[in-house]
């Protein structure tokens, strides 16, 4: 199947045959598509179909390639207030197909996370949460997650033994993760619910590649719905600022020994999946815990953000000077010195 036919098939399922379909939403996504694929407008008519909210950019783990885990300075720390979140969702709900509730921290450290999921569903948006699942659940919490309507629960778990797991997920307890998974799986069965779909994300690294043959059996034993195996990324706080050659060099400790297990081509010194452009600026936006708006999920330093959605609403940010400048630069593939997006033009768009 060709790339465009694959994207078309994926789009039909994502935007038409979905319980979150709406004619206004569909017209909006059509407008965005025309402006990105045909005209490359810098000032957009329409609004993002997806928003990523960061409920908490605080984390209890110290993952070595994560700026939060390393305690890197550059972004203020905190947890999103539900009322602020609610205002943005209400403002953008007529256009939203999807809401992700995660970015730089552990979402379940925000005690209002389930409330956020429930509200998104009342506004007819698909929801997902990406978590390290090291916040211990009880029976009540597991039940509230299942009843919330959460569509997908992504669990980052890069090992099936504590010894392997903690080499990257520093400070994490695999026992807690497995207990939480079993609680949610049991509640799904008890409540006869298909949601949330539980997806196990396993990043292949040098220290855990020997466990790959055991993953499918473990998935079945835990009752996880789907296994997603991926390659480790470079330092997430720096990846948009350095080229692939330097990324590979910095990952010597982590890259798997077998090239086929890596997202990088070791001979060519580049990623296997090279993107020619970035669609984020036309379709998606990221709102951090304090309302600061990032052009994408890879921008860690708050000084490079494009505005604040909590101050006067998200719509005042979407077509402001920084967004317009960034879209012009990406559309022409010419850095203009005005936004952080210049870096991806120079070093390659993240995949």
* ∠ CA 123-125-131, rounded to 5°: 120
Tell me the pLDDT band of 156, cut-offs 50, 70 and 90: very high
Mean pLDDT of the region 70-98: 97
Q: State the pTM of this model.
A: 0.96
**What is the pLDDT averaged over residues 5-31?**
88
66-86: average pLDDT: 97
Residue 332's CB: how many other CB atoms inside 10 A? 12
How far apart are the C-alpha atoms of 211 and 164, rounded to whole Å? 9
Query: What does the pLDDT look like over 216-233, one tens digit per residue?
Result: 999 999 999 999 999 999
pLDDT of residue 4: 52
For all residues of the chain together, what is the average pLDDT?
Answer: 96
Binned at pLDDT 50, 70 and 90, residue 8 comes out as low
The token duo for 292 is: 């600061």
Q: What percent of the chain has pLDDT over 90?
A: 96
- Please report the pLDDT score of residue 3 as a whole number: 44
Q: pLDDT for 289-346, tens place per residue?
A: 999 999 999 999 999 999 999 999 999 999 999 999 999 999 999 999 999 999 999 9
| Cα(256)–Cα(232) distance, integer angstroms | 9
pLDDT attached to residue 1: 46
State the residue for tokens 């450290």. 109
Report the 3 state secondary structure along the chain: CCHHHHHHHHHHHHHCCCCCCCHHHHHHHHHHHHHHHHHCCCCCCCCCCEEEECCECCCCCCCCCCHHHHCCCCCCCCECCHHHHHHHHHHHHHHCCEEEECCCCCHHHCCCHHHHHHHHHHCCCEEEEEECCCCCCCHHHHHHHHHCCCCEEEEECCCCCHHHHHHHCCCCCHHHHHHHHHHHHHHHHHCCCCCCEEEEEEEECCCCHHHHHHHHHHHHHHCCCEEEEEECCCCCCCCCCCCHHHHHHHCCCCCCCCHHHCCEECCCCEECCCECCCCHHHHEEEECCCCEEECCCCCCCHHHCCEEHHHHCCHHHHCCHHHHHHHHHHHHCCCCCCCCCHHHHHHCECC
């Amino acid at each position: 199947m060709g790339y465009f036919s694959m994207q078309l098939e994926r789009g039909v399922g994502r935007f038409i045959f979905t319980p979150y379909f709406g004619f206004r939403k569909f017209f909006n996504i059509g407008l965005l598509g025309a402006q990105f694929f045909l005209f490359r407008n810098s000032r957009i008519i329409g609004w993002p179909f997806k928003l990523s909210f960061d409920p908490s950019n605080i984390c209890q783990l110290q993952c070595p390639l994560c700026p939060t885990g390393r305690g890197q300075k550059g972004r203020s720390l905190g947890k999103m207030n539900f009322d602020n979140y609610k205002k943005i969702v209400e403002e953008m709900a007529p256009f939203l197909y999807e809401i992700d509730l995660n970015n730089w921290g552990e979402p379940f450290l925000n005690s209002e996370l389930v409330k956020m999921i429930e509200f998104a569903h009342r506004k007819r948006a698909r929801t997902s949460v990406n978590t390290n699942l090291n916040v211990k659940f009880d029976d009540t919490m597991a039940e509230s997650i299942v009843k919330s309507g959460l569509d997908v629960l992504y669990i980052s778990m890069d090992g099936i033994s504590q010894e392997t797991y903690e080499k990257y997920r520093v400070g994490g307890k695999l026992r807690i993760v497995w207990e939480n998974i079993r609680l949610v799986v049991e509640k799904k069965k008890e409540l006869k619910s298909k949601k949330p779909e539980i997806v196990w994300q396993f990043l292949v690294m040098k220290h855990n590649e020997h466990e790959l043959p055991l993953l499918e059996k473990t998935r079945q034993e835990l009752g996880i719905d789907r296994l997603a195996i991926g390659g480790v990324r470079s330092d997430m706080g720096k990846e948009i600022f350095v080229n692939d050659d330097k990324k590979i060099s910095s990952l010597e400790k982590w890259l798997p020994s077998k090239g086929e297990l890596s997202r990088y081509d070791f001979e060519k010194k580049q990623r296997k999946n090279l993107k020619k452009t970035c669609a984020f600026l036309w379709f998606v936006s990221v709102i951090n815990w304090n309302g600061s708006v990032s052009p994408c999920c890879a921008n860690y330093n708050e000084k490079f953000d494009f505005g604040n959605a909590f101050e006067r609403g998200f719509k005042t940010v979407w077509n402001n000077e920084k967004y317009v400048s960034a879209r012009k630069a990406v559309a022409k593939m010419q850095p203009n010195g005005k936004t952080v997006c210049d870096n991806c033009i120079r070093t390659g768009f993240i995949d």
